[in-house]
Amino acid sequence: MSAVPDLKLLVPGQALPVRTFQCEPVQLFLYNAALWNADRIHFDHPHTTLTEGYPALVMAGPLLGDWLAQAANEWAGDAGFLRSIEYSNRRACYVGDVLRSVGQVRSVDTESGDVVLELAIVNQRDEVALPGTAVVRLARA
Amino acid sequence: MSSVVDPGLLSLIGKAAAPQTQLVTRRDIRKYSVATAQRQRKYLDGDEAPPMFHVALFWPVLPLDELSANGVAIDPMFPDIPGRRPMAGGLKIDFHRPLKPGDELTATRMLTNIYSKQGSNGSLIFVEVTMTVIDSAGEIVLTEKTTRIMK
């Protein structure tokens, strides 16, 4: 994880660390088990591909949303607080995909400590699957 | 450009689901944290819940015979609109404080808006459902607005 960002040194356009996520069936199963989500497109491969016509098991949208939230939350550090997040599910992702979370600073309010971040989950073809924004409040020195 | 939404649909604005109360436990936080590949110790140890943990906490637990044949828990808050199919929508969540083991939280969901916009291939109807989560002291801990687009 990166060092805690210094509010005084932040400028719009500054990039967040990139994190790679490998979409694996075991993690997808555990995620949906933690939710109690029995949608067969997340665990039943023949049903998903032959009946519903998807190329592979479908990643759960809220799991991608969590990865987006983690990008902002980890960047803000322990003393920071994720105040809000907003995203849209634009493109389905599948087991076997290699995704990454990316982001950059959009604006900085040095009075309140609030930083607006532009975020996205991007697939291995550089297609944006989940664009979003977040507001984190950083601790002031 | 907005277009007209059927008055029958508009009358659904304000429809609310029964409040649901759930207890936050360390074990559930740990399961969620492992499943989402959290990297912060406080989450993996279950001392605090990751921001999106409420998604798991309030996912509906239905009897097997109430799930659809493909295993889906149908969300009764979103109306069926004849001739239209749901497209991927979006979420906006405002967090007021982190969740911790022992928190007893109550979620109330309400259909808060239905509106229409003209897309390049015809009209789109947007349905918004807002979930408000309060703690046992009545303080709001988070709100989540889900928007489903019907094409």
Residue-wise over B118-144: b if at least 16 C-beta within 10 A, else e? eeeeebbbbbbbbbbbbbeeeeebbbb
pLDDT band at A1 (very low <50, low <70, confident <90, very high): low
Cβ separation A82–B95 shorter than 8 A:
yes
**Is the pLDDT at B4 greater than 60, yes or no?**
yes
Position B119 scores a pLDDT of 82
**Is the pLDDT at A31 greater than 90, yes or no?**
yes
Residue-wise over A50-89: b if at least 16 C-beta within 10 A, else e? eeeeeebbbbbbbbbbbbbbbbbbbbbbeebbbbbbbbbb
CA atoms within 13 A on the CB side of A116: 8
Question: Which residues are bridge partners to B124 per DSSP?
Answer: B117
Cβ separation A85–B51 shorter than 8 A:
yes
Whole-angstrom Cα Rg for chain A: 17
Cβ separation A34–B93 shorter than 8 A:
no
Position A3 scores a pLDDT of 74
Cα–Cα distance, A23 to A18 (Å, whole number): 16
CA distance B87 to chain A (A): 9
Cβ separation A39–B72 shorter than 8 A:
yes
Position A49 scores a pLDDT of 97
3-state SS record for B118-145: EECCEEEEEEEEEEEEECCCCCEEEEEE
A84 touches B: beta carbon within 8 Å:
yes
CA distance B16 to chain A (A): 22
Cβ separation A38–B35 shorter than 8 A:
no
**How many contacts (CB atoms, under 8 Å) link A and B?**
99
Position B1 scores a pLDDT of 45
Nearest to B36 among A31, A38, A39 (CB): A31
CA distance A10 to chain B (A): 23
What tens digit of pLDDT does each residue of B59-114 get? 999 999 999 999 999 888 888 888 888 887 899 999 999 999 999 999 999 999 99
Cα–Cα distance, B61 to A100 (Å, whole number): 31
Is the CB of residue A4 less than 8 Å from the CB of residue A77? yes
Position B112 scores a pLDDT of 97
Asked: is B7-150 a CATH 3.90.1150.10 domain? The reply is no
Cβ separation A85–B67 shorter than 8 A:
no
Does residue A113 come out as left (phi exceeding 0), alpha (psi in the -120 to 50 range) or beta? left
Cα–Cα distance, B146 to B85 (Å, whole number): 16
- If one counts every other C-beta atom within 10 angstroms of the C-beta of residue B86, the result is 15
Cα–Cα distance, A88 to A132 (Å, whole number): 7
Helices B26-35/A25-35 angle, 10° precision: 150
What tens digit of pLDDT does each residue of B18-50 get? 999 999 999 999 999 999 999 999 999 999 999
Cβ separation A86–B91 shorter than 8 A:
yes
Nearest to A62 among B34, B52, B89 (CB): B52
Domains defined along chain A, listed by start:
7-24+60-137 (3.10.129.10)
